[in-house]
A and B are shown apart, each in its own frame.
Chain A
Amino acid sequence: MDVITAFLLTFPIVFVISLLFDGIDRKIHARMQRRIGPPIIQPFYDFIKLLNKERIVPAMASSQIFTVLPTLAAASSILSSAILFTSVMSGTSFGGDLVVVFYLLAMSSVLVTIGGSSSGNPYGAIGFSRKMTMLIAYEVPLLLSFLSVFLKINSTSYYNAILTQVKVGSMLALAFPSMAVSAVAFLLCIPAAADAVPFDVSEAKTEIIYGPLVEYSGPYLALFKLAKASSNLSLTFLACTLFFYLPALFGDGDSLWLGAFIVCLLLALILWFLTITVPRTVFARMKVGQAFKFYWIVALPLSVIAVVLSALGL
């Protein structure tokens, strides 16, 4: 498939798939709590309804930052998914695109919190400081996990990671012990990056009223919701293609791009369920200190081990 066509095609796909997965997540979450839950397309209803609402900017807010950031956040997280999707669909990528994706993912969550802190609301400020603490907690293991992959595949290009798996004929996480450890570290970081319950300290609704999002409403909130859904999609899709590229087991990736893409999406949904839906159903929210401790005691050593093993060639 032509790269340009694929790239342009990914935007509507990212939009639909991310909101659809969000709806499935909410439905399963509700069923696990013995509730009926919202319809699966509820996030679409929410998005359309919020877009039609009035735009409210608080008098205390620095209005330019407050109004521009939702768009930027949505753009960066959609772009990160789009880059990944294009690679899988067209079978091409550019050197360093994994670094760009990592940057865009961090960017979208930083932008949300900066927007919140510009609202002038004290809860936004607390949310900002909590999110910054959490970023330090989970971005370091996440980055090290990326680094171990770079060392393993000798490249910073996303499609090379997929090609390596096709060449080996197995998933990266199954083929190499270093990658298995790295995958665990990566998956542990997903709930924090997605602000799912045990680690949703920056949004904790009963404590600080959604923190950064407290003053956002209408179209701005719609964009933030979209940003969050597509960044979740991008994280889970990245995890499943980097470490668990299932199509690699069935031969070369070139001939069946559409099938491979759909298989990867389904795998991403399963990872979404395991890393976001399940934790947020079965755990209580942690405090900032406890969450920070968890990442630096559990996830960080794992990712360091992954880097060392990867450097040793295992």
Chain B
Amino acid sequence: MKNMVTEKHGETKDVEVDYARLRIPFGPVHPALKEPVSLRVTVRKEEIVDVDIVLGHVHRGIEGLAENRNLVQTLYLVERVCGICSHSHTTCYVQALEEIGEIKPPERALYLRTLIFELERIHSHLFLLGVLAYEIGFDTLFMFTWHVRESILDLFEKITGNRVHHSMNTLGGVRWDVDQSMVEEIMSTMKNLHKYVQQIHDSFQDKSVEKRLCDVGFLAKDEAIRLCVVGPTARGSGVDMDVRRDHPYAAYNDLREDFSVVVKEKGDVYARTEVRILELFESINIIQKILAKLPGGNIRVEDNIIKLMRRIPQGEAISLVEAPRGELLYFVKTNVKGGLSRLKIRTPTIPNVLGLKPMLVGCEIADIPVIIASVDPCMACANRITVVDAVTGEEETMDTSVLRRKR
């Protein structure tokens, strides 16, 4: 249907108006979303024809805050970038500082870091699998998955005293040690977990689940490489990348033989889900190996963290870790006063969220929730960065002065 539409500047323009198209505001508040993100989805009947992704609803200015704090305070600040992968953020940050200050944490500390890292990966993946089940209306699987996840959270509480923000890392080591009885408890939990994860794996192969997850949300391999998607999202599209293997950190160099990188070629939602389920088995295996060869010795080089902080000179470093959602990058630039002159965080959700558009276009409305969930977006992570919508140009950039005024 042709319509004459008057533009802003008084010109008339021949625009094709398609009345079968419907623009649905998907978010920022929607039952399918764990965190606020706004998708403006244009649909024709049930088919998606266009998607606009608008970020920035939970922008908290963490990078700016970090510049007003000292190095130790920032350690606790970056932990709060994300609730699910808090340990990844602190590990990444602490690694950069240790690089600048030439501090070498003891072996045992590196192993304990890796232990918490893998526990966190299990808890994050279980969280996502539950959400995926919930999105397709399979509440029973959702309840079961989260019930299993509780055992990991209990372990966190027993090891570090906290369920979500573990505060495990400190400069030059870790804060909490595990004793022999704890090692045995983790071992037995892992044994049970292996059984439960097998059940979850079987449930995800159920016909009614497969019907919803297979053949939706395709992301081709070359598209995945072009958009630089990372983590399980990339590995589900056949891109063989994993920071743990490619740039080993913490104790992963010693554990090189004990895990393999799970890669699936198909690139649909089911492939991404399966990558995560199989990674759970890998993580359980890694944890058992860590506990078997846990070296003795101290858990940190120095108890007085302030003394250690003063030892860090001016300098800059880049640090990489494989967070549950993919590659996490920190750029840290310290100044002479024991503070930061620049902190740059590039979370895995930023590239992954860009992958949503090619996944969504051509699918149905019913697929939106599963597809969004399948990249496991962590909006609180992504929204420290101001994103300007290049398509409409409507979004204003939130610079520091705007943020201050709004406060």
Residues of chain A whose beta carbon lies under 8 Å from any beta carbon of chain B: 32-35, 122-123, 125-126, 129, 197-198, 200-201, 204-209, 280-290
A122 to B46, CA, bound (A): 12
Q: Are A284 and B31 in contact, with the CB atoms below 8 A? A: no
Contacts of B206 in A (CB 8 A): 284
Q: How many A-B residue pairs have CB under 8 A?
A: 78
Q: Does B176 contact A (CB under 8 A)?
A: no
Q: Does B228 contact A (CB under 8 A)?
A: no
* 29 A-B pairs with C-beta separation under 8 A: A32-B140, A33-B140, A33-B144, A34-B143, A34-B147, A125-B22, A126-B365, A198-B137, A198-B208, A201-B366, A204-B366, A205-B31, A206-B134, A207-B365, A207-B368, A207-B369, A209-B30, A280-B139, A281-B140, A283-B137, A284-B133, A284-B136, A284-B141, A285-B137, A285-B212, A286-B211, A287-B211, A287-B367, A288-B46
Q: Determine how close the nearest CB of chain A comes to the CB of B149; give it in whole angstroms.
A: 13
- CB nearest to A123 among chain B residues: B24
Q: Does B32 contact A (CB under 8 A)?
A: yes
Question: Can you list the 5 inter-chain pairs with the closest CB atoms, starting with the nearest?
Answer: A285-B137, A284-B138, A206-B32, A33-B143, A284-B136
- Digitize B123-148: 1 where CB-to-A-CB distance is under 8 Å, 0 elsewhere: 00000000001111111110110010
- CB nearest to B206 among chain A residues: A284
Q: Are B365 and A285 in contact, with the CB atoms below 8 A? A: no
Q: Are B140 and A207 in contact, with the CB atoms below 8 A? A: no
Contacts of B32 in A (CB 8 A): 206-207
A207 to B41, CA, bound (A): 13
Q: A288-B366, A290-B211 are in contact. Are A206 and B135 (CB under 8 A)?
A: yes
Contacts of A286 in B (CB 8 A): 208, 211-212
A207 to B371, CA, bound (A): 11
- Name 6 extra pairs, CB < 8 A, besides A206-B369, A280-B139, A284-B212: A34-B143, A206-B136, A284-B133, A285-B136, A285-B137, A287-B364
A155 to B244, CA, bound (A): 74
Interface residues of B, count at CB 8 A: 32
- Digitize B354-370: 1 where CB-to-A-CB distance is under 8 Å, 0 elsewhere: 00000000001111110
- CB nearest to B138 among chain A residues: A284
Contacts of B136 in A (CB 8 A): 206, 284-285
Interface centre among B32, B141, B206 (most CB of A within 10 A): B32
Residues of chain B whose beta carbon lies under 8 Å from any beta carbon of chain A: 22-25, 30-32, 45-46, 133-141, 143-144, 147, 206, 208-209, 211-212, 364-369
Looking at chain A's contact residues, the main secondary structure is: helix
A286 to B367, CA, bound (A): 10
A204 to B364, CA, bound (A): 13
Q: Are A283 and B208 in contact, with the CB atoms below 8 A? A: yes
Contacts of A285 in B (CB 8 A): 136-138, 212
Q: Determine how close the nearest CB of chain B comes to the CB of A25; give it in whole angstroms.
A: 14
Contacts of A201 in B (CB 8 A): 366
Q: Determine how close the nearest CB of chain A comes to the CB of B351; give it in whole angstroms.
A: 25
Contacts of B212 in A (CB 8 A): 284-287
Q: Are B143 and A284 in contact, with the CB atoms below 8 A? A: no
A123 to B22, CA, bound (A): 10
A200 to B137, CA, bound (A): 9
Contacts of B369 in A (CB 8 A): 206-207
- CB nearest to B366 among chain A residues: A287
- CB nearest to B139 among chain A residues: A33
Contacts of B138 in A (CB 8 A): 283-285
A190 to B31, CA, bound (A): 26
A284 to B138, CA, bound (A): 4
Contacts of B366 in A (CB 8 A): 201, 204, 207, 287-288
Contacts of A206 in B (CB 8 A): 31-32, 134-137, 369
A288 to B212, CA, bound (A): 11
Contacts of A282 in B (CB 8 A): 140
Q: Are B137 and A284 in contact, with the CB atoms below 8 A? A: yes
- CB nearest to B46 among chain A residues: A288
Contacts of B141 in A (CB 8 A): 284
Q: A122-B24, A198-B208, A286-B211 are in contact. Are A209 and B140 (CB under 8 A)?
A: no
Contacts of A281 in B (CB 8 A): 139-140
Q: Determine how close the nearest CB of chain B comes to the CB of A210; give it in whole angstroms.
A: 8
Q: Determine how close the nearest CB of chain A comes to the CB of B385; give it in whole angstroms.
A: 27
A282 to B206, CA, bound (A): 10
A229 to B366, CA, bound (A): 26
A126 to B97, CA, bound (A): 53
Our pick among B30, B147, B208 for the contact of A284 (Cβ within 8 Å) is B208
Interface centre among B25, B32, B136 (most CB of A within 10 A): B136
Contacts of B22 in A (CB 8 A): 122, 125-126
A48 to B397, CA, bound (A): 47
Interface centre among B144, B209, B212 (most CB of A within 10 A): B212
Interface centre among A32, A129, A206, A209 (most CB of B within 10 A): A206
Contacts of A289 in B (CB 8 A): 364
A123 to B25, CA, bound (A): 9
A60 to B317, CA, bound (A): 55
Contacts of B135 in A (CB 8 A): 206
A201 to B369, CA, bound (A): 13
Contacts of A207 in B (CB 8 A): 32, 365-366, 368-369
Q: Are A34 and B137 in contact, with the CB atoms below 8 A? A: no
Interface centre among A33, A125, A208, A284 (most CB of B within 10 A): A284
